[in-house]
A and B are shown apart, each in its own frame.
Chain A
Amino acid sequence: MEKFVYFWGKVADFWKRAPKGPLMVLILLFAAGIFADFLTFGHDPEIGDPRQRLLPPFWYDGGMTKYPLGTDTMGRDILTRLIYGSRVSLVVAFAAVILSSVIGTILGILAGYFGGWVDQVIMRFTDSWLSIPTVMFGILLAVIVGPGVFNIVIIMGLVFWTRYARVTRGETLSLKTREFVQLAIVAGCSKFRIMRKHILPNVLNNVITLASMQIGVVVVVEATLTFLGVGVPPPKPAWGLMLSEGRGGLLAGYWWLIMFPGVAIAMLVMSFNLIGDWLRLYLDPHYRNIEA
């Protein structure tokens, strides 16, 4: 019973202190992704009406309220693709972050806990992985394993684990010297038990903070890869694809093709960044004791 109250107390406190603006934006985008089917009034995100191609947004001459933000080169409603696109972006971002944080945390804890040559090898390996340029690495991997949402999640996971490894290794090193870990060692707990029960929960704070800062980066890199044609494949409605398809219309002045998807990405990333910044302060033990 106590744990229940404690938990909801924490949730309420979180809610009270979190910055509302970015949170609202995120909830909006999440809702769009989840309820996409209900929000788009029958427009199909993948198949369009070629007779209605390249219509401007409704407040312009030639625009129609049926297609509020205009249509693209294949006559598909932009707003609909925008809404469905949030699904793709969010799913890929979260899945990739989870994957990379898991890989990175495991390696980081192993490196920090065992020390010695295990640590050195893992750290040099991490260094080398980090030295490989992110976007290019993604392109290379994508070209090799082929297109697809699943594939790109794997690729993003593989590209981004290194930061988690570094952070968790540092934390593990300092945790190793703390008393409760020493006690566990003396008590004869197995190494893996210690890592799981004592070290892991304590590095989670840092991991979550890092993850919240990384989500924005993942979204942008995924958009970049998709834009370059090596990420989410057409005809799926992805914001990156909308941008690459819209590129052709630039010189002719069809600005709405790129404006709205770009704004969507920017708002998503900015909200994640703002929340991430706030989360970092929130999870910092010093901050917790100050009145909101």
Chain B
Amino acid sequence: MKRYIVRRLLFGIVVVWFVSVIIFTVSRIGPDPALMIASPGADEAEMKAIHERFGLDKPWPVQYYIFLKRALQGDFGESVYYGLPVSEILVQRIPNSILLVGAAQLIALGIGVSAGLLGARRRGQWLDNLVRWFSLTGLSMPNFWIAMLMILVFSVTLKVLPTGGSGTFWHLLMPAFSLGWYFSAGYTRITYSSLFQVLNSEYIKLARVKGLSEFSVVAKHGLKNALIPIVTLAGMNLVIMVSSAVAIETVFSWPGVGLLMYHGAVYRDFNIAQGVVLLISVSMVGVNLLVDILYAYIDPRIRYQ
């Protein structure tokens, strides 16, 4: 088990390092960032001063080294727009994103897993078909469009939900739903296929042959085996959702990291944009690592690979 974890960790570190290189490179390609920071019509002296201040005059590898060193200490630079250290701003905004994503996960899992269970137990009946269509449509519509439609129906026409902002449960409802709907299809598919495979497997047959109660068969043997892929997917979706939420946060003005990144990018506040992307990428690697470890814990076969 230990060897497995260590190996995974090493890979994770390499991946994170690659990510930092990629992000750094991407940020530095393109027009000189100094142009955005400087006032229009700036002269050479001013440009030089800006270059010096932000370390833009140094050769790239050196810039990268400084960037990396600082990043490892949690210093992602300063936001030009807010005038505050990026890390501070991030800390402020992350809880909002977590709240949104958490709620969306609950919705997605709720719809998805029940649909999968329904499909496995009552294939072909009207409820099952209905739910599957529901999931499929969720996959096909841009989430921000769902968001806008919901606003149209619930805020403008019915006037029961607020159009944006955050703060109360009611503010959370529409954003979470429009974010989560897309992911329910994935959960449906994987719950169904996983459950289907498990319930038709030999060890379930043996459990029945042993005379165990049907409950024990399904709940003890069936569920534990079927959960593995669902948990994996949920873990990965967590981070994907944060990124997917950009458009939703824009539509609802939900103060999460997605909106932050978007503003940062568009207003050329690169430290912010970079910071958010780095944070999410590293989280993604971290989550994958955790899921791998969890996997090994649930399924003993993997531990000894």
Contact = CB atoms under 8 A, between A and B. Distances in A.
Contacts of B136: 270, 273-274
Does more than half of chain A's interface fall in helix, strand or loop, or is it mixed? helix
A258 to B, nearest CB: 5
Interface of A: 124-125, 127-137, 139-141, 143-146, 216, 220, 223-224, 227-230, 243, 246-247, 250-251, 253, 255, 258-259, 262, 265-267, 269-270, 273-274
B240 interface: yes
Contact of B246 (A139, A253, A255): A139
B145 A228 contact: no
A227 B247 contact: yes
A146 to B, nearest CB: 8
Contact of A227 (B27, B144, B258, B284): B144
B18 interface: yes
B276 interface: yes
A251 B163 contact: yes
B30 A144 contact: yes
Interface stretch (B79-87, B100-108, B122-130, B259-267): B259-267
A229 B266 contact: yes
Given A133-B280, A251-B156, A144 B27 contact: yes
17 contacts: A131-B281, A131-B282, A135-B247, A136-B243, A139-B246, A139-B273, A140-B26, A140-B277, A143-B265, A143-B273, A144-B29, A220-B142, A228-B250, A243-B148, A262-B148, A270-B139, A273-B140
B156 A140 contact: no
Interface in B135-159: 136-137, 139-142, 144-145, 148-149, 151-152, 155-157
B152 A250 contact: yes
Contacts of B54: none
Closest 10 CB pairs of A and B: A133-B243, A144-B30, A128-B18, A270-B140, A262-B145, A131-B284, A269-B140, A128-B19, A128-B15, A131-B281
A213 to B, nearest CB: 10
A132 to B, nearest CB: 5
B137 A266 contact: yes
Contacts, number: 149
B134 to A, nearest CB: 13
A124 B14 contact: yes
Does more than half of chain B's interface fall in helix, strand or loop, or is it mixed? helix
Contacts of B140: 216, 265-267, 269-270, 273
A258 B149 contact: yes
A209 to B, nearest CB: 15
A143 B29 CA distance: 11
B285 interface: yes
Interface in B201-244: 239-240, 242-244
A36 B75 CA distance: 53
Contacts of A139: 246, 261-262, 265-266, 273
B160 interface: no
A182 to B, nearest CB: 26
B51 interface: no
Contacts of B285: 127-128, 131
A128 B140 CA distance: 27
Contact of B15 (A127, A228, A259): A127
A247 B30 CA distance: 31
B262 A144 contact: no
Contacts of B19: 128, 131-132
Contacts of A227: 142, 144, 247
A132 B273 CA distance: 12
